[in-house]
Amino acid sequence: MRGRSLSLRRRLVIGVSVLVAVAFLIMGTTTLLAVRASALQRLDEEVLVGLDLVVHPRGGPRPEDASDSPDDTQESPAGAVSEGGPAPRIGALTLVLDAQGAVVEASVIGDDGTASVLTDAQIAELTADSLPERRPVSVDLEGELGRFRVAVERGADGTVVSGRSLADVTESTRTTAAILGGVMGGVLLLLVGGLILVITQSLRPLRRLAHTAQRVSERELASGEVVLPDRVDTVDTDPATEVGQVGGALNSLLDHIEDALTKRQAAEDRLRRFVADASHELRTPLASIQGYAQLSQAEGAPMTQTQQRSFTRISSEAVRMTSLVENLLLLARLDAGQPLRQEPVDLAVLLIDAISDAHAAAPDHRWVLEVEEPVEVTGDEDRLRQVLTNLLGNARAHTPAGSTVTASLDKNVDGGSAIVRVADDGPGIPEGLRERLFERFTRGDESRSRARVDAPESGEELADEADGGGGAGLGLAISHAIITAHGGRIDVQSTPGQTTTFAVHLPLAPPSP
């Protein structure tokens, strides 16, 4: 059953029960055949004895004494029944034919002791040439008589057939089959019940191991400090048993995993502290570089064209480096769990301002705003504004001029969330890039058209600011971190060549009392 797999307990119970049932069936069939064969053997002996009694009746002359009897004037035909013969038995069949084939006697003793005469068809069946001599065989006389076991002896003086009914053998066989079926069926039922109890009891430690593994699998292990308090009980870690060996191995595995996760978390904490400290320390020299560059340009002293371009590039790169350092510092703080401000924020106002800024920055795009009503959430207004700016800037930077960018705001009352969507009809995002889109330093230059601004009189590319990180690929990573810190999520759906939609889900602000 692929759709519904059976548990190990059920497979064991069913498997052992089927094997025992097959063994019982073989044993019962063998016993029944042996009982029937034994009954047939005894019946055959009775048939032969009856045949001898008919052919050589007690009290009559035996063949070896016939020549010594001068008084015998006429020899009896083969099988002639004398008055001194044995009394007929219930179920006994006797058929005597003389040398000319005439019926001398053709009778069957019924259950009530009365004799009935055989019909011509039954006589023909009993005298068929196919019947072996003095070897009992079964024949079907049909009608009320049914099946008989008969033996034939043919002689010059006639033919004698003696038989016994198979009714007793058939009845004893049925009775034996019923007894065997009842006993074996009852034993099988008791065995199945015992198997269920024994196997259930034996598999309890394994089920406890499965429950422990299930609890561990439900824990969040991807990030943050991880503690695995779940362990297999000591009673289930006995190395002398197979289940105990599995339990001990599982405990060792959980210890190693917890140790590895602790070391990973410590390394991440050290990296975050390093990034935060480095970003914090870089802010001062970058500010100094930018200040000295602006001071040199503001003096108005004569400069060569190369000097002027150099100071311009120094100032531009200082601004870009400062933005990158600020974003890295923000990510480090968000990763460290630094709390954000919690105040009512009207997303409709933020979206209107963000669309206005985007239209001013890129008038060659078509900007569409769909807002029907105010939607209020609780969070940090500056950070949420940064998310909207990043998403709109990302749509502007990665779509060609003339593209349409639509920003909409909906309220999902059932889900208790606000949904901000930013959709564009640009080139789209390939599936391979979509999987790591929110990772840090992920760039979309290979797939989506990217705005490029060349510095005057130089072949150097000036970085765009679409992702809020100077084109370093931090914009979506920062947006994802901010939305996650607000208890929301951000999704993306993209069909290359048709449309790309970013959806931001944020919890609605609780209703005012």
Average pLDDT over residues 383-410: 90
Among candidates 409, 390, 380, 397, which has minimal Cα distance to 484?
380
**pLDDT average, residue stretch 288-316:** 81
Lowest mean pLDDT among 2-11, 81-90, 312-321, 490-499: 81-90
Q: Which of 231-240, 434-443, 472-481 has the lowest mean pLDDT?
A: 434-443
Q: Which range has the worst mean pLDDT, 31-35, 166-170, 361-365, 465-469?
A: 465-469
C-beta of residue 257 within 8 angstroms of C-beta of residue 225: no
pLDDT over threshold 80, residue 297: no
pLDDT digits (tens, 9 = 90+) for 317-360: 888 788 778 777 777 777 777 778 889 999 999 999 999 999 99
DSSP 210-250: HHHHHHHHTS--SSS---------GGG--TTSHHHHHHHHH
* pLDDT at residue 236 greater than cutoff 80: yes
Which of the two residues, 89 and 136, has the higher pLDDT score? 136
What is residue 223's predicted lDDT score, i.e. its pLDDT? 67
Task: Identify the band that residue 446 occupies on the pLDDT scale cut at 50, 70 and 90.
Answer: very low
pLDDT at 4: 64
Residues β-bridged to residue 417 = 412, 507
What does the alpha-carbon distance between residue 104 and residue 119 come to, in Å, rounded to a whole number? 14
Tokens of 194: 């015992």
Asked whether the beta carbons of 463 and 473 are under 8 A apart, the reply is: no
Q: Is the pLDDT of residue 447 over 50?
A: no
Choose between 191 and 512: higher pLDDT: 191
Phi and psi, residue 59, nearest 5°: 90, -15
What integer pLDDT is reported at residue 444 of this predicted model?
58
Nearest to 383 by CA among 331, 327, 446, 340: 340
The arrangement of secondary structure in 343-507, i.e. its CATH architecture, is 2-Layer Sandwich (3.30)
Say which range, 83-87, 407-411, 421-425, has the weakest mean pLDDT.
83-87
Share of the chain above pLDDT 70, in %: 86
Considering only residues 450 and 372, tell me which one the structure prediction assigns the higher pLDDT.
372
pLDDT band at 88; cut points 50, 70, 90: low
Instruction: Pick the most confident of 38-47, 215-224, 464-473.
Output: 38-47
- Kindly tell me if the per-residue pLDDT of 187 is higher than 90: yes
Between strands 376-379 and 417-424, the pairing is unpaired
Lowest mean pLDDT among 70-84, 185-199, 217-231, 291-305: 70-84
Choose the weakest-confidence range: 44-48, 142-146, 171-175, 370-374.
142-146
Average pLDDT value over all residues in the chain: 80
Amino acid 310 reads: S
% the chain with pLDDT above 90: 23
Q: How confident is the model at residue 42 (pLDDT cuts 50, 70, 90)?
A: very high
Q: Which of 194, 167, 148, 156 is nearest to 13 (CA)?
A: 194
Parallel, antiparallel or unpaired: strands 404-412 and 366-371: parallel
| CATH of the domain spanning 236-338, picked from 1.10.287.130, 2.40.40.20, 1.10.3720.10, 3.40.50.880 | 1.10.287.130
Q: Provide the pLDDT for residue 314.
A: 85
Higher-pLDDT residue of 30, 337: 30
Q: Where are the domains of the chain?
A: 1-58+87-221, 236-338, 343-507
pLDDT score recorded for residue 19: 94
Over residues 411-420, the mean pLDDT reads: 82
pLDDT at 191: 92
User: Residue 441 and residue 435: Cα distance in Å, rounded?
Assistant: 14
Per-residue confidence band for 285, with pLDDT thresholds at 50, 70 and 90? confident
pLDDT band at 113 (very low <50, low <70, confident <90, very high): confident
| Residue recorded with tokens 């349409």 | 404
pLDDT (mean) for 224-251: 86
Q: Taking residues 395-404, what's their average pLDDT?
A: 89
Give the pLDDT of residue 445: 53
Over 321-333, what HEC string results? Answer: HHHHHHHHHHHHH
**pLDDT value of position 57:** 65
Do the Cβ atoms of 148 and 92 come closer than 8 Å?
A: no
